[in-house]
Amino acid sequence: MNTKQKATIGVGILLSVVLFGWIFTAPYLSNQGLGRTPGFIIGGTLTPPLDDFSVLEGAVQGPLIMKQAGFPPFSFYLSWVAEEDGIITATRPDGGYWEQRVYDRGGDGWLRIGDQTFAMEAFAITNEQERLRMMGKWAAKSGRTLDEALYEGSELLRDWKVFFWRPRES
């Protein structure tokens, strides 16, 4: 094999690696800002579960970063509300990517809130009364009511799906 053939093979391999890497790490722009980003490392300090997660409410501003177990390793920016025994997140009822991964692969993942990263497990809230209670807290934090949409074209917040994240059992 001559040098030209080796160079051609090398360039082909390099382009394949770059293309494959881009496919699994390119940011995805959702309807409202950056929704999904590469998730190999989400940062923060792995922190033991808190006795009371509600202390994070108000102390940490902005969205949390969620990374689910499994491949591909994407991270998602999510709005959240803290309760004593876990974290409330919500998503549109459209079978979106991270919601489907919870159903397909289980809820194991990590939540980075501020500089702390917690090993958590997501549970879909199916009890209608509990879902509306939690969604009401999420809506209030976003400055809306359950009878409003988050943005034009979105479903009313009362129709959104709610996931509650609890510390994972080790």
Give the SS3 label for residue 132.
Answer: helix
| DSSP structure class, residue 142 | T
- Per the structure, the complete domain to which residue 96 belongs is given by 27-167
75-129 tens-digit pLDDT? 788 889 999 999 999 988 887 777 887 888 788 888 999 989 999 999 999 999 9
Residue 124: inside a domain, yes or no?
Answer: yes
Question: 89 CB contacts (<8 Å, ≥6 apart)?
Answer: 64, 66, 78, 79, 80, 122, 138, 162, 163, 164, 165
30-73 tens-digit pLDDT? 444 445 555 556 778 889 999 999 999 888 888 888 888 877 66
- Which secondary-structure segment (H or E) carries 38? strand 34-38
| CATH number of residue 137's parent domain | 2.30.110.10
Q: The whole model's pTM is what?
A: 0.77
Residue 13: inside a domain, yes or no?
Answer: no
Residue 83: inside a domain, yes or no?
Answer: yes
Residue 67: inside a domain, yes or no?
Answer: yes
| DSSP structure class, residue 148 | S
Res. 22 pLDDT band, cuts 50 70 90? low
| DSSP structure class, residue 144 | -
DSSP lists the bridge partners of residue 70 as: none
Residue 32: inside a domain, yes or no?
Answer: yes
User: Tokens 């194991």 correspond to what residue?
Assistant: 108
Phi, psi of 32 (to 5 degrees): -130, 90
Structural contact between residues 150 and 142, judged by C-beta atoms closer than 8 angstroms = yes
How many domains are there within the chain? 1
| DSSP structure class, residue 36 | E
Residue 2: inside a domain, yes or no?
Answer: no
pLDDT of residue 31: 45
Residue 52: inside a domain, yes or no?
Answer: yes
Residue 20: inside a domain, yes or no?
Answer: no
| DSSP structure class, residue 2 | -
